[in-house]
């Protein structure tokens, strides 16, 4: 999700600083295109995976069903961003 949001921002010529905080990135995207609010829940739910378990020392076991749900949300976000990019004539 992080890279998709950063791709959208980059396509809008917005400088993207180094961050993994998904709600912040989503705020920046929503400022350009308010429809990004539609995926706000996904950003909240996936932030821990982008930040908390990013490094080996921070790792925790994730139950299979939780992992499946997270992957499904991430895939939905990727599709959402791809569609927004296509609407903008980028993708």
3-class DSSP state of 49: helix
Q: What is the pLDDT of residues 26-79, one digit of tens each?
A: 999 999 999 999 999 999 899 887 765 555 566 667 889 998 999 999 999 999
How far apart are the C-alpha atoms of 23 and 30, rounded to whole Å? 10
Nearest to 70 by CA among 48, 40, 37, 52: 48
How far apart are the C-alpha atoms of 16 and 21, rounded to whole Å? 12
Please state the pTM of the whole predicted model.
0.84
* Cβ neighbours of 81 (radius 10 Å): 22
pLDDT of residue 49: 78
Nearest to 88 by CA among 5, 11, 13, 6: 11
Give the pair of three-digit tokens for residue 47.
């932030």
pLDDT of residue 17: 87
């Amino acid at each position: 999700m992080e890279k998709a949001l950063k791709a959208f921002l980059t396509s809008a010529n917005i400088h993207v600083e180094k961050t993994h905080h998904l709600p912040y990135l989503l705020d920046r995207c929503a400022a350009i295109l308010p429809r990004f609010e539609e995926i706000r829940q996904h950003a909240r739910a996936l932030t821990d995976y982008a930040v908390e378990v990013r490094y080996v020392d921070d790792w925790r076991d994730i139950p299979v069903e939780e992992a499946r749900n997270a992957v499904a949300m991430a895939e939905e976000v990727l599709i959402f961003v791809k569609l927004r990019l296509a609407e903008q004539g980028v993708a």
